[in-house]
Amino acid sequence: MTSGAPDLSRLSLNTATTKLLTLAEAVDGAARAGYGGVGLWRDRVQEVGADKAAKIVADAGLRVSSLCRGGFLTASDDAGIASALADNKAAIVEAATVGTSELVFVVGGLDANPGPGLPARSYSAEAERDAAKDLVATRQRVADRIADLAPFAAEHGVRIVLEPLHPIFAADRAVISTLGQALDLAAPHPADVVGVVVDTYHVWWDPALEGLIARAGAEGRLASYQVCDWILPLAADPLLSRGYMGDGYIDFPTITRWVAATGYAGDIEVEIFNQQIWDSEADSVIATVADRYTQLVAPHL
Amino acid sequence: MTSGAPDLSRLSLNTATTKLLTLAEAVDGAARAGYGGVGLWRDRVQEVGADKAAKIVADAGLRVSSLCRGGFLTASDDAGIASALADNKAAIVEAATVGTSELVFVVGGLDANPGPGLPARSYSAEAERDAAKDLVATRQRVADRIADLAPFAAEHGVRIVLEPLHPIFAADRAVISTLGQALDLAAPHPADVVGVVVDTYHVWWDPALEGLIARAGAEGRLASYQVCDWILPLAADPLLSRGYMGDGYIDFPTITRWVAATGYAGDIEVEIFNQQIWDSEADSVIATVADRYTQLVAPHL
């Protein structure tokens, strides 16, 4: 590294940030910019196959910080459960093949939801007994499926990394809504088999965050630190309401210090879903991410 | 009450649900439908004056279940603090005058926010030191302002009712994001001076909700139970993304049983911000609210 150049050795580019790039293009861009790693989405991995994806990343001298994503574990019918288990076993094998031990899980929403962004079923007189809205039971099914998958993950040296999602997504994407809940779900399992990710976008608002990050560290479960900002107004699709660090409301220095205080020594992954950023020139996006990381995150690690 | 007619004696119509009605019209509609109470917003009270508002409600034989709202306590400058204290003292006097002991507080968002729905200030090199994004300090200012106001509220027999808002609003409307945090903020004060409201829309996703409702009850701080549903897709203005009970994702029977288990004997207030509902004929809205309450809430009280 050139003297005085920023140290990006712990910075990882999640391929969702440069959504339009192929895997090879994203890896090349990250490597040229001096990043230390990449976080991969399964769609980009599957385009080339897991073996070739592993080679592309290794040849560029980068690490795979995580694979996104497993999950969607909330089905209540036998076919849905079998399908979820099969898909997640495939994801576990993929994670091991691409060379990461960390498989991020987005666990899925309520059965009552017909799909992301669609309206709930209309009210009917049966709604009172509608098991599909039973959040407690839905969360229990997530716990059951994690127990089903944990031995398989352990055999493959892959950690199930539970991602708490912002409560805005509790109905349609993930019934794990807080870091504390993720840690409670992980608790029955060894720390190297079930961990958690701290994504600033999802947890920044939590009044208990400092203590929960400390707990994740003390329990050896802090598998990934992901950063991007909460911006307003929300995009029409709230999934795309993420911004560069510094463009929104999140206090990155403070949260980063809480993470660093645990002794976390892993990568810092940047995963931004944002149409405007996707429409921008990729090298400029990669440079802006590096600049914001250098100013707002790295000094506090 | 006619034999067999639903018992609406604990149902309260928040005037925000029928936004286009004057106070007198809303009270008349609620009374004709058999509701037991109304929840008032300050704008509707101020249109006629607090004394006259009290008379309108009493003449209709209804109770005032709460006054909305005090709050917006997060200012960090002397002028902003003085203004917030003055406005909240006026609200406390209004609450006492209209005849309710329960003044709901929406405590305000980060200073970094230029106003609801507007983008944050652009990133600058100073952002790292931007105190306006310091959520921990902002929340401490809320605690300080509550302490400033509590003696005045106590003198007037009015309870400061802290409302945790859904974390979607943490940046721009309320830095109280969970019922647990609201209870922690209330803890230094007597239970009849600082309480909490459980609004299903804001807290339904919380994995700790059952225990927190029990705690609110055990501590004598459960001042109000408000119901409306979380619907998707979100409205362009997320503030207006509320629906009739049963039209969204919330499990009202379960949450209502948790509230009832505390011994809560107060009103159940329905506060729905929704443009489509505001555009509907008011008596039909009032009837639909009563119907959903009767089916999804009342049987579990």
Q: Which among A134, A177, A254 has CB closest to B205?
A: A177
- What SS3 state is found at B269? strand
Chain A / chain B CB contacts < 8 angstroms: 146
Over range B242-256, report the average pLDDT. 95
B200 inside domain: yes
B162 inside domain: yes
A33-69 b/e with 16+ CB inside 10 Å = b?
A: ebbbbbbbbbebbeeeebeebbebbeebebbbbbbbb
Residue B35 identity: Y
- The DSSP secondary structure of A45-59, one letter per residue, reads HHHH-HHHHHHHHHH
DSSP label at residue B21: S
CB-CB contact of A171 with B230 (8 Å): yes
Share of chain A above pLDDT 70, in %: 93
Cβ pair A178:B207 closer than 8 A: yes
Per 3-state DSSP, chain B is made up of helix, strand and coil in percentages (nearest 5) of: 45, 15, 40
- Residue A37 sits in a domain whose CATH number is 3.20.20.150
- Residue from B131, B161, B180, B178 nearest B70 by CA: B161
Instruction: Give yes or no for A295 touching B (CB within 8 A).
Output: yes
Give the pLDDT confidence score for residue B5 in this predicted structure: 85
A117 inside domain: no
Please determine, for residue B112, whether its predicted confidence score (pLDDT) is greater than 80.
no
Q: What is the pLDDT of residues A213-270, one digit of tens each?
A: 999 999 999 999 999 999 999 988 888 999 999 999 999 999 999 999 999 999 999 9
B58 inside domain: yes
Cβ pair A180:B208 closer than 8 A: yes
B1 inside domain: no
Q: What is the pLDDT of residues A150-204, one digit of tens each?
A: 999 999 999 999 999 999 999 999 999 999 999 999 999 999 999 999 999 999 9
Per 3-state DSSP, chain A is made up of helix, strand and coil in percentages (nearest 5) of: 45, 15, 40
The HSE-up count of residue A73 (CA atoms within 13 Å, CB side) is: 29
Cβ pair A232:B171 closer than 8 A: yes
Number of structural domains, chain B?
A: 1
A148 inside domain: yes
Q: What is the predicted ipTM?
A: 0.94
Quick check: pTM over 0.90? yes
Tokens of residue B52, six digits = 């006259």
CA angle A227, A232, A238 (to 5 degrees): 75
Report the C-alpha gap between B135 and B234 in whole angstroms.
Answer: 25
A221 inside domain: yes
Q: Which among A184, A206, A234 has CB closest to B234?
A: A234
Instruction: Give yes or no for B166 touching A (CB within 8 A).
Output: yes
Instruction: Give yes or no for A120 touching B (CB within 8 A).
Output: yes
> Which residues constitute the domain of residue B198?
11-113+131-300
Residues in chain A closer than 8 A to B184 (CB atoms):
207
Q: What is the pLDDT of residues B1-16, one digit of tens each?
A: 445 789 999 999 999 9
B183 inside domain: yes
Instruction: Give yes or no for B293 touching A (CB within 8 A).
Output: no
The HSE-up count of residue A81 (CA atoms within 13 Å, CB side) is: 13
Q: Which among A127, A244, A247 has CB closest to B296?
A: A127
Tokens of residue A54, six digits = 């592993």
Instruction: Give yes or no for B240 touching A (CB within 8 A).
Output: no
Report the C-alpha gap between A106 and A72 in whole angstroms.
Answer: 6
Report the C-alpha gap between A294 and B213 in whole angstroms.
Answer: 43
Q: Which among B171, B184, B248 has CB closest to A249?
A: B171
Instruction: Give yes or no for B128 touching A (CB within 8 A).
Output: yes
At A115, the pLDDT band (50, 70, 90 cuts) reads: very low
